[in-house]
Amino acid sequence: MCDIILHEAPDTECRTRNEASHKFRLTSGSKLHSPAVFEIPHSELRILHRCTMLVVMQSHAADSEVARVVEVIKGQGLTPHVMPGATRTAIGVTGNTGAVDKALFEVLAGVEEAIRVTKPFKLASREMKRDDTTIPFKQGNIGPKTFTVIAGPCSVENESMILKTAEFLVSKGIKFLRAGAFKPRTSPYAFQGMGVEGLKILSKARERTGIAIVTELMDTEFATAVEDASDIIQIGTRNMQNFSLLKRVGKCRKPVLLKRGMSATLEDWLMAAEYVMAGGNYQVILCERGVRTFSDHSRNTLDLGVIPPVKSLSHLPVFVDPSHGTGKRGYVPAMSLASLAAGADGILIEAHPEPDKAMSDGAQSLDFPGLENLFSRLKELAPAFGRTM
């Protein structure tokens, strides 16, 4: 079941749509005493998306009452779109409804409610949910007032390095281990990851140490295997607009860490989150990891400037990946501290027992002393930014 909320500004009423049958359930209308449903033909969906207001008729409304509403809408210089459904008719309104009082329609006979549709498909938006989202884990919460470090190697390389890393992290109070079993590499000749074998190693590390696992899902084929082995499913930058994959993780019961596409605008990124949420998985963590620009002094341009706007538009937790954002381990600590200051809820850091021998991304990986040092500086500074670690 796929729910999409149409919501009304400026208050927080919401309307839920079931995409499969194109039924719209009005769940928390101010006037509705019980959930009401309306249904529109598939062909009308495109129009609905353009509508800035929706006049929902009562289920027993007469044709003459619908006609009267149409007349009044036209009288306001607006365009009505009658969408007859199985249970009731909705009349979409296009044109500038900003200055129109919806009460004008609501007083008409046969009208259930008029709904202002400001931003459709914005489950990720703060208009829809004002308070910051907290994602709970056995190991601790991710979200407001906390700052979470997720650390570990780029790839699962073998069992001993993962167990060693997990034990080190746990001993320092870091509760989330990152490591890719499936690796999206630019070159087909580069190490592609250990695949399912790698997932088994991650599961073993979780079993032994109790650490939470963050690992990447690259294609739908391995969704179940990755979901089982992970506590957070990572979607990489190259897959941010892989819509089949986004829909698939929308069905997962594990939180999703959604990396920003390397050329994605903020809206593209939030719409990708919307895909996951529209599938029913509301536990999305956004992760800025650097974008492509003309700059060539670093691997990517870490866009810390996106954090205040994403925070103002969305209630979802936001992480930063300064490792992929800079590409050089020497730059990682400064950008980690800056991420905390900019309002991020945590960081995703590459760290390796022997970075110079890493099979992928060694140059941007911290060694254990480097990670320990950074973690203690973050811990010291976090309270100044209203966060605990």
Q: Is 329 in the site for ligand PEP (CB under 6 A)?
A: no
Contact of 2 with 21, CB cutoff 8 Å: no
Q: Counting contacts by CB under 5 A, is residue 154 touching Mn ion?
A: yes
Distance between CA 151 and CA 322 in Å, rounded?
11
Cβ 2 vs Cβ 278: under 8 Å: yes
Minimum gap (Å) between residue 158 Cβ and Mn ion: 17
Report in angstroms how near the CB of residue 363 gets to ligand PEP at its nearest.
Answer: 13
Of 42-50, 128-136, 149-157, 166-174, the window that binds Mn ion (rule: CB under 5 A) is 149-157
Q: By C-alpha distance, which of 315, 280, 324, 316 is closest to 126?
A: 315
**Strands 318-320 and 53-57, bridge-based pairing:** unpaired
Enclosing H/E stretch for 254: none
User: If DSSP codes are grouped into helix, strand and coil, which group holds residue 258?
Assistant: strand
Estimate to the nearest angstrom the gap between the alpha carbon of 75 and the chain centroid. Answer: 41
Give the residue with the Cβ less far from ligand PEP, 143 or 152: 152
299 forms part of the interface with ligand PEP (CB under 6 A): no
Smallest distance, Å, CB 165 to ligand PEP?
14
Distance CA 67, CA 51 (A): 18
Cβ proximity to ligand PEP, 51 vs 218, nearer residue:
218
In the chain, what's the furthest Cα-to-Cα distance?
A: 77
Which residue of 259, 299, 311, 387 would you call a contact of ligand PEP, by CB under 6 A?
259
Interface positions, 330-359, toward ligand PEP (CB under 6 A): none
Tell me, rounded to whole angstroms, the distance of Cα 245 from its chain centroid.
13
DSSP H helices, 174-222, are 196-209
From 202, 287, 361, 387, residue interacting with Mn ion (rule: CB under 5 A): 361
Binding mask 134-163 for ligand PEP (x = CB under 6 A): --------------------x---------
In contact, 187 and 199? CB cutoff 8 Å: no
What binding mask, one character per residue, do residues 306-325 give for ligand PEP by CB under 6 A, x or -?
A: ---------------x--x-
**Rounded to the nearest 5°, which phi and psi values hold at 377?**
-65, -40
Query: For Mn ion, which residue has the nearest CB?
Result: 154
Q: Which is nearer to Mn ion, 110 or 236 (CB)?
A: 236
Distance CA 172, CA 165 (A): 11
Closest approach of Cβ 154 to Mn ion, in Å? 3
Tell me if 252 contacts Mn ion by CB under 5 A: no
Q: For residue 127, state whether it binds Mn ion (rule: CB under 5 A).
A: no
Q: Which residue of 125, 215, 237, 364 would you call a contact of ligand PEP, by CB under 6 A? A: 237
Decide if 32 contacts 26 (C-beta within 8 A).
Answer: yes
Query: Which residues sit at the interface with ligand PEP, rule CB under 6 A?
Result: 154, 180, 184, 236-237, 259, 289, 321, 324
Query: Which residues sit at the interface with Mn ion, rule CB under 5 A?
Result: 154, 361
